[in-house]
């Protein structure tokens, strides 16, 4: 089971790492996913004109892909990638229906990995927050 999780996590991480690096350096061996509709192309062009959106998005994807690849803070970076994968899936499902199947697999793998690491998310679902007692090393009574 550990080997299967390693392969799934590594493939997922390499997908985001490769496409993130491809945005900045235009690697020739990574295929470009073509946009086939005018509405999707218009939205993408408007987001490119902002000057920061895709740089931030692909920077986050590179960081998440790197940390998933080295298996550090995996549940955190899966949670960071969840809204990105949902947004990519919905964008392609509604605006570019020819490519939605590729990103359905990406969303499915993200949800599968979150299911595998579900114990790490158990503290997020407390109905009432529990505060911990912290002891400071500074004495304020002096």
Report which of 67, 60, 84 is spatially closest to residue 13, judged by C-alpha positions: 67
Please indicate, yes or no, if residue 140 is contained in any of the structural domains: no
Please report whether residue 76 resides in a domain.
Answer: yes
Q: Predicted confidence band at 32 (pLDDT cuts at 50, 70, 90)?
A: confident
Domain of 107, in residue numbers? 2-125
Within-domain flag for 53: yes
DSSP 67-118: HHHTTSSHHHHHHHHHHHHHHHHHHHHHH-GGGHHHHHHHHHHHHHHHHHTG
Q: Are 95 and 39 in contact (CB under 8 A)?
A: yes
Query: What average pLDDT does this structure show over 109-116?
Result: 96
In a domain, 114, yes or no: yes
**Residue 107 domain flag:** yes
C-beta of residue 77 within 8 angstroms of C-beta of residue 67: yes
Nearest to 11 by CA among 64, 79, 69: 69
pLDDT of residue 136: 60
Domain count, the chain: 1
The rounded distance, in Å, linking the Cα atoms of 118 and 104 is 20
Q: Which residue has the higher pLDDT, 32 or 2?
A: 2
* 92/94 Cα distance (integer angstroms): 6
- Under 8 Å CB-to-CB from 64, ≥6 apart: which residues? 13, 16, 77, 80, 81
Q: Is residue 133 part of a domain?
A: no
Assessment of whether the complete model's pTM goes beyond 0.95: no
Q: How many CA atoms does the CB half-sphere of 35 hold within 13 Å?
A: 14
Domain assignment present for residue 141? The answer is no
Cα 132 → chain centroid: 31
Q: Is residue 93 part of a domain?
A: yes
């Amino acid at each position: 089971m550990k080997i299967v999780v390693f392969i799934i996590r590594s493939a997922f991480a390499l997908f985001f790492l490769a496409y993130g690096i491809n945005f900045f350096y235009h690697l020739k061996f990574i295929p470009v996913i073509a946009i086939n509709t005018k509405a999707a192309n218009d939205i993408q062009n408007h987001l490119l004109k902002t000057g920061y959106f895709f740089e931030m998005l692909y920077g986050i994807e590179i960081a998440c892909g790197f940390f998933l690849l080295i298996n550090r803070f995996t549940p955190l970076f899966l949670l960071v990638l969840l809204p990105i994968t949902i947004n990519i899936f919905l964008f392609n499902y509604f605006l570019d229906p020819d490519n939605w199947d590729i990103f359905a697999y990406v969303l499915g793998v993200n949800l599968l990995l979150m299911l595998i690491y579900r114990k790490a998310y158990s503290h997020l679902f407390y109905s009432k927050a529990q505060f911990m007692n912290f002891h400071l090393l500074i004495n304020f009574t002096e």
